[in-house]
Amino acid sequence: MSPVTVQTPANRARGCPERVIVAGQRISITFSITFPTDPGRIGAPAGVRSGTSRRGTAAASACTRRSDMHAPAQGRRHRRAIGGAAAATALVLTGLVAPPGAVAADSGTVPYTVMFNNFESSVGSRAPAWSALDVAGPSGTPAATSFSTTDVRTRVSHARSLRVAARDHVGDGAQMPIPATLLTAGQTYTVSVWVHVAEGSTPVTAGTPLTARVAVGGTALPAAAGTDLVLQPGVWKRVAVTYTHTAGATPLTVSIDNTTGTFYLDDAMISGERVGDPVPATGTLKNTLGYPVGVAVERRSTLVGTEPEQVLSAQFDQVTPENAMKPESWYGADGKFAGSPGAEMTSNEGADALMDWAKRNDGRVYGHVLVWHGQNPGWFFQDGNGQPLDATALSARMRTHIFDVAEYLADRYGPFGSPGNPLAAFDVVNEVIADSASTASNGMRTSTWFNTLGEQFVDQAFRDADEAFNDVYAAPGSDRPVKLFINDYGTEGGDAAGSKLNRYYDLVQRLIARDVPIDGVGHQYHVNLNTPTANLRTGLEKFTATGLQLAVTEFDVTTGYPQTERLAIRQGQYYRTAFDIFNAYDRANPDRLFSVTVWGLNDAGSWLYYDGAPLMFDDYLNPKWSLVGALGGDVPAEPKAMTVFGSEVDLDAPRVTSDPQWQLVAPAAVGDHARFALRWSPDTLTAYVDVTDASVEATDAVTFRVGAQRYTFARSGEGDVPGAVTQRPDGWTAVVQLPLTGAAEGGTVPFDVAVTDGATTAGWNAPGILGELTLREPLSHVDVLQVDAPPAVDAEVDDLWAAAPVVRTDKVTQGSAAAAYADVRTVWSGDGSSFFLLAEVTDPQVSLAPNNAWEKDSLEIFVDPGNAKNGAYRADDVQIRIAADNAVSSGAGRVVASATRQTDTGYVVEAEISLLAAGGPGTLHGLDFQVNDATGNARTGVKAWADPTGQGYQNTARWGVARLAERRTPALALGTDEVRAGGDVTVTATGFPARATVELQLVAATSGAARAAADPVALGTVEVAADGVAETTVTVPASVAAGDYRVAAVTADETLATADLRVVAAAVEPTPEPTPEPTPDPTGSPTPGATPTPGGTGSAGGTGGTGSNPGRLATTGSAIALWSALAAALLAGGGVLVRARRAAGADD
C-alpha cells in the first residue's frame, strides 16, 4: 500500500500536523487545540472523546472530527463547544487500511442515515415496511401492528406511530427486513427507536426493570455506549443499540420484556459513519439576526441536558409547539380538558414543556393553534348523540375552548404579560383560505367552521381570544400582551389575479374593516428549491400597508428526496437569499417583522422529511449549509453536476486516449487548462482527462474523489488505479479507471476531479466539495453519411440511402413495444449547413384523427446544433414534428423541405433540416427521433431513438449525437516496410467505415517469391473507431516464408485497403562452441573460470595472467569467460525486450 498523508485541507487550515504513514505503522501525534468561546460554534469538539473510526482508533479532536456515535437523545452528531477551553489531545492511528489503491478523502467522520421510518403516510416505499413479530406461531394469538393516530400521548412526533398489540409472548413485537443493499458486512451501525409502553406495564420478572429488546437475525444487541434499554411506563424512551453487520442477517426486531402489554414505536433509525468533515457554521441565529427567531418543537427537544435542548437553547429565542397546543392535544380520551376537575389528563405536558423552556431561557412562546379545521377531537363538532352541532352550540364550543386554553396557561404561569408567563402570540385561526378561487365561499375554505358559522367564525375567534388573553387573563396594566395572528400556507405563490395571496389579503382587509382585533398576519412559507424567492418578499410587502405585524411562521425548504450534497448546498443558497429578504424587510420596516420561525429543529423531526431534508440541522443535529446561509455566511457555489452515459472502455485499446467517443459529449472544464469526460459501467468509472501543460514536473497529476475515496494518477503513468497516458509537446492525456460498487442506471455518484500542474491545483468544484454524477443509459450516436449530391426530398427511397447507417426508434416511452417505430437514415452534402433524413415508419394503421398535433401519427426530430446538451432548450434547439400527411406542426422554420408518402406498412418521411451556422464537416449535433402512434382519436404509443424519458420536448440532455462524417478513401499504413518472420508490425487504418470490424490478412504479392504461401494468413481483427481510424499491432507468424506480401484489410464484402510488406527469414540462433572439460590443477588452485572476481580476473589468469599453466588453460579460461558474458548479455537482452514489450502493451 502506498504511504498515506494524514491531513486534509480543512485540517491544514486548523493548523493540524501533517504525517505520512504506511499500513501497519503506529504513530502518535500530539497537538493543542483552543476551543472557541462562542457557545454557538457548531461542529467544534466539546472535549476528548474516544471512538473507533473506519481506519483505526482515534480520540476526537479538531483534526479528527468524529461524531458522537451514541448521543443520548438524538443519535450521533458532532460534539459542540459549550464553553471556551484549551486541551491537548493525542491522536493514535493503528493498522490504517483503505481499499486497494484508495486513500481516505478526509480525516474526520460524520454520521449518515442508512434508513429512517417515522411511520407517517409519506414514507411510502422509501423505507422497508414493518410488520408484526409473533414468536408463538399459529398456536398463539397473532401479534398485530397498526398505525396509531388517535391518542396524542402515543405519538412521539407528527401524526402516527406504530402500535404493537395482541401480544401473548415476551418475544412478540414488530419486525423490519433489512435489505441486503442497505448495510455492509463488517461495518458497525447504531440502531435506535423510540418506544412507549402504557402506564402500569410490568416486566415478566417482578422487581426487575421493564426493558426493550432489539435484535437482528435473532441475536439481541447490547445498548449503545452511554444508554440503556430500560423503559419508563407512560413515557417515550429512545433506545439505541450497536450492531456490526453480518452478511445475510435479517430481520430487525423490537419487543419488550412482558407478555401482554401494547407498546408503540416511532422514529426508527439505522445510522452509520462515513469519512468527511462537518459544515463549518459559526454564530447563533438569535444573536445574529435582528428579530426573534423561532422553531417548532415538541417536548423531547426541551429536555434539559440533551443535545436537542442544547442546540435549541443556543440558537433560538422563541418556540412554537408543533402539535402540543393544537385542539386535540388539550383533551384526554374522556373528552375532558386537561387539568379540569376529574379529567384523565391532569396537564398538557407538551405545552408545559415549551412554556418551561421559555422561562428558563428568557425566551418566548408563539402558540399554535386555537381554531383550525384539522386535528380536533373526533367529537368536537358533535353533540352528545353524535349529531352535528348547530351554530349556537358550535359558537359556544369555540369560545369555551379558547377560554380553557387561556385559563390553563394563566393558572400555571401567571397572567399574560407578567414576568412568569412567556406566551407572546397565538395563531388564532389557521388555514381558512381555499386553495382555489370560489365565488360561493368568497375565497374561504369550506370547513365545518365555515359551513356552520360562515365567515363570521373568524371574527368570533379573534374577539374571544382577545377577551381571554388580553383582558380576562392578562396582567393588570399590560397592553395586549398576546399578539393575535391569522396564519395560512400557499402565500408564496405570487400576487397574480386569483392567487391565494390575494384571497388572503382580501380577507384580512375585510377583518380590518369589521374592526376585528387582529394584530398580525402569518405566512407559513413551506417552500421548495423551485419556489421563486422573490415571492417571499412579495408576500410580506403585500401586507405592509395594512399596518399589521407580519410573521414567517413555518419556514422550511424541501430539496427532493434523497438530499445530495449538491442539493444541500443549493438549499444553503436558498436560505441565504430568503433570510436576506427577511433582513431587508426588517430594516425597511422596523418592528413590523414579529418573528421568523422554522418548522422543526432538525431533518429527522420534520413532517416533510421524505420531501427532502428541509431544515438547518441534519438528522444528528449537525449544522447544514442552510444554517450557514441563514446566518449570512458564505455558502459554496453549487456543486457541478454531470450526466454520465454508460460504456465499457478497454484500457488496452491502442487509441484509448484519442478515442472519438470522448468528444461525443463536450468534456467539462477543470480550471483553465484541463478538461475531462466520463463513462461508467457497473463496476468502473472511466475518466478521460486532457491537460495543456508544456512543462513536465514531478508533481503533475490528476486526483479523483469518488465518494469518500481519493485516487491519484500521475503524468508519469504511475498511480493508485490503472490508466493509460499519452504525452504531447503541449501537455498530456490520460484515461483512468476508478472502482465503483453497485452502480446502476439512474443512480448518483459524488465525484470531483482536480489537476495539479507543478505547485498549482485546479478542481472541477471548490476544494472539499463533491459534484454529482447521474448514471444514464449508453449514449446513442450515429455518423451522418456524406454523399456527392443531395437527395431529392420526395419521400422516395433513392439508391444513395442504401449506404447510410440506420437507427431505429425502439425505446418505448408510452404504450407498448408493439407501437409504431421508424428506421431512420441520415446523409449530408455540400457545406454541411443542413442534413437530410429518410424515415421509414412501420405503422399498420395510420391515424390523423386526434385533435392535438402531437397525438397524430407523426415523426418528431429534435436537433441541438453544436451538441451543447444544455438541458433546457437554447434558442437554437428545436423540436420538429412532421405528420404522416406532411403537416409540419412544430419547428417549421428549420425544415428546408419535407415530403411524406403512405405505404402498405406505414409511411415514409423525408426532410432536409437546417443546422444554422453550426454545421460543417466533422461537426457534432444533438439529435433524436420520436414516433407518435395514434389509434383512433388518441395517441397510444411513443417510441424514441435516444432519450428514454419521453421528456425530449423540454430537455436536451439525453438526446443522441450525430456527427457529419467526412468521406475518406480507406488506407493502411504500416510501421515498417520490412519485418522478420515472427516479428511485429504496427498497422494504422484511416478512412474506414465507423465501428466496422475489419480482418487483417497477409497475402502474397502478385510478383511473390517462390516460397510465398498461396492462401492468406490471418493476422487478427481490429475495431474501427467512430472517426474511421483503427490502430493495432500484429505478429507475422515465424512460419511465414520470406518474400513480398501485402497486408490487406478485409470485410465480408470487399478488400478495403492494402499495404506492401517484405518478410525476411526468421533469425537463426547461434550454436555455442562446446565448453572443454578443465584439466585438474595439481597445486589445488581453483578451477579456471570458477568464482571469478569482479572484472573477470581469475587465478588461472588469461593474457598476462599468473596461473600455473599460462598456455592452454589461459585460452580455455578466455573462452569460458567469453561465452559466459555472451550468455549473460543474451539473457539480459531478452529480459529488456520482455519488459519493453510489456511496457509498450501497457502504454498502448
Give yes or no for a contact between 574 and 529, defined as CB atoms under 8 angstroms apart.
Answer: yes
Amino acid at 854: W
Question: pLDDT higher for 199 or 40?
Answer: 199
Give yes or no for a contact between 369 and 325, defined as CB atoms under 8 angstroms apart.
Answer: yes
What pLDDT is stored for residue 188 in this prediction? 92
Amino acid at 631: L
Mean pLDDT (whole number) for 691-714: 95
Distance in angstroms (rounded) separating the CA atoms of residues 60 and 53: 10
What pLDDT is stored for residue 148 in this prediction? 66
What pLDDT is stored for residue 276 in this prediction? 73
**DSSP character for 766?**
S
**DSSP character for 470?**
I
Residue 71 CB neighbours (<10 A): 25
β-partners of residue 1017 are 1002
Amino acid at 742: G
What pLDDT is stored for residue 70 in this prediction? 33
318-321 and 364-372 beta bridge pairing? parallel
Distance in angstroms (rounded) separating the CA atoms of residues 172 and 260: 9
Mean pLDDT (whole number) for 142-157: 64
Distance in angstroms (rounded) separating the CA atoms of residues 289 and 596: 10
Amino acid at 997: T
What φ, ψ does residue 655 adopt, rounded to 5°?
-115, 40
What pLDDT is stored for residue 1054 in this prediction? 86
Q: Which of 998, 1033, 1031, 1036 is nearest to 1017 (CA)?
A: 1036
Helix (H) or strand (E) holding 509: helix 500-513
The pTM of the full predicted model, rounded to 2 decimals, is 0.69
Interhelix angle for 565-588 vs 534-542, to 10°?
30
What pLDDT is stored for residue 156 in this prediction? 66
Cell of 877: 434547439
Distance in angstroms (rounded) separating the CA atoms of residues 245 and 179: 12
Q: Is the pLDDT of residue 813 over 80?
A: yes
pLDDT tens-digit map of 289-302:
999 999 999 999 99
Distance in angstroms (rounded) separating the CA atoms of residues 47 and 64: 12
Give yes or no for a contact between 130 and 164, defined as CB atoms under 8 angstroms apart.
Answer: no
3-state SS class at 539: helix
Distance in angstroms (rounded) separating the CA atoms of residues 970 and 1110: 70
Of the chain, the percentage scoring pLDDT greater than 90 comes to 66
pLDDT tens-digit map of 487-535:
999 999 999 989 999 999 999 999 999 999 999 999 999 999 999 999 9
Give yes or no for a contact between 823 and 806, defined as CB atoms under 8 angstroms apart.
Answer: yes
What pLDDT is stored for residue 152 in this prediction? 53
Q: Which of 299, 392, 403 is nearest to 351 (CA)?
A: 299
Question: pLDDT higher for 527 or 249?
Answer: 527
Distance in angstroms (rounded) separating the CA atoms of residues 1002 and 1037: 10
What φ, ψ does residue 369 adopt, rounded to 5°?
-150, 150
Give yes or no for a contact between 861 and 838, defined as CB atoms under 8 angstroms apart.
Answer: no
What pLDDT is stored for residue 381 in this prediction? 97
Cell of 92: 493514535
Cell of 614: 428541509
Choice among 255-269, 288-302, 566-580, 954-968 with the minimum mean pLDDT: 255-269
3-state SS class at 152: helix
Interhelix angle for 500-513 vs 456-467, to 10°?
60
pLDDT tens-digit map of 66-97:
333 333 333 333 333 323 222 222 222 222 22
Q: Which of 311, 757, 321, 77 is nearest to 330 (CA)?
A: 321
What pLDDT is stored for residue 207 in this prediction? 83
Characterize 868-900 residue by residue with b for buried, 16 or more Cβ atoms within 10 angstroms of its Cβ, and e for exposed.
Answer: bbeeeeeebbbbbbbbbeeebebbeebbeebbb
What pLDDT is stored for residue 155 in this prediction? 60
Distance in angstroms (rounded) separating the CA atoms of residues 1079 and 402: 125
What pLDDT is stored for residue 12 in this prediction? 37
Distance in angstroms (rounded) separating the CA atoms of residues 79 and 81: 7
pLDDT tens-digit map of 333-361:
999 999 999 999 999 999 999 999 999 99
pLDDT tens-digit map of 986-1040:
999 998 887 789 999 999 986 544 444 468 999 999 988 877 889 999 999 999 9
- Beta-strand runs (E) in 404-542: 423-430, 483-488, 520-523, 526-528
Give yes or no for a contact between 678 and 667, defined as CB atoms under 8 angstroms apart.
Answer: no
263-275 and 161-165 beta bridge pairing? antiparallel
Cell of 689: 482527462
Distance in angstroms (rounded) separating the CA atoms of residues 711 and 725: 16
Compute the radius of gyration of the chain from its Cα atoms.
Answer: 39
Q: How confident is the model at residue 1135 (pLDDT cuts 50, 70, 90)?
A: very low
What pLDDT is stored for residue 918 in this prediction? 94
Distance in angstroms (rounded) separating the CA atoms of residues 1034 and 1044: 17
Q: How confident is the model at residue 1139 (pLDDT cuts 50, 70, 90)?
A: very low
β-partners of residue 1117 are none
Residue 135 CB neighbours (<10 A): 15
DSSP line for 412-436 = HH-SBTSTT--EEEEEEEE--B-SS
Give yes or no for a contact between 796 and 701, defined as CB atoms under 8 angstroms apart.
Answer: no
Give yes or no for a contact between 485 and 431, defined as CB atoms under 8 angstroms apart.
Answer: no
Give yes or no for a contact between 197 and 270, defined as CB atoms under 8 angstroms apart.
Answer: no
Distance in angstroms (rounded) separating the CA atoms of residues 432 and 965: 65
Cell of 1060: 506492401
Q: Is the pLDDT of residue 52 over 70?
A: no
What pLDDT is stored for residue 250 in this prediction? 84
Using CA atoms, how far residue 459 sits from 104, 400, 449, 484, in Å, is 63, 16, 12, 12
Distance in angstroms (rounded) separating the CA atoms of residues 594 and 612: 28
pLDDT tens-digit map of 727-754:
999 999 999 999 998 899 999 999 999 9
Which domains, from first to last, does the chain contain?
A: 109-275 (2.60.120.260), 289-595 (3.20.20.80), 641-778 (2.60.40.1190), 781-965 (2.60.40.1190), 971-1006+1015-1063 (2.60.40.1930)
Write down the number of H helices and E strands in the chain. 13, 61
Distance in angstroms (rounded) separating the CA atoms of residues 30 and 750: 33
pLDDT tens-digit map of 1101-1118:
333 333 333 333 233 333
What pLDDT is stored for residue 677 in this prediction? 98
Helix (H) or strand (E) holding 572: helix 565-588
Distance in angstroms (rounded) separating the CA atoms of residues 425 and 428: 9
pLDDT tens-digit map of 891-912:
999 999 999 999 999 999 999 9
Question: CA dihedral defined by 785, 789, 793, 799, rounded to 10 degrees?
Answer: -70
355 CB-contact burial (10 Å; exposed 0-12 / middle 13-18 / buried 19+)? buried
Mean pLDDT (whole number) for 682-707: 96
Choice among 141-150, 386-395, 462-471 with the minimum mean pLDDT: 141-150
1116 CB-contact burial (10 Å; exposed 0-12 / middle 13-18 / buried 19+)? buried
What pLDDT is stored for residue 1029 in this prediction? 87
Sheet holding 997-1004, edge to edge: 978-980, 1055-1064, 1043-1050, 997-1004, 1017-1023
Distance in angstroms (rounded) separating the CA atoms of residues 810 and 962: 17
Distance in angstroms (rounded) separating the CA atoms of residues 628 and 622: 12
834-842 and 821-828 beta bridge pairing? antiparallel
| Spatial CB neighbours of 1136, under 8 Å, sequence gap ≥ 6 | none
Cis-peptide into 377, omega within 30 deg? no
What pLDDT is stored for residue 1027 in this prediction? 76
pLDDT tens-digit map of 4-29:
444 433 333 333 334 333 333 333 33
Q: Which of 126, 156, 378 is nearest to 266 (CA)?
A: 156
- Beta-strand runs (E) in 121-207: 131-133, 144-148, 161-165, 173-176, 188-197
What pLDDT is stored for residue 768 in this prediction? 83
Q: Which of 499, 570, 573, 489 is nearest to 525 (CA)?
A: 489
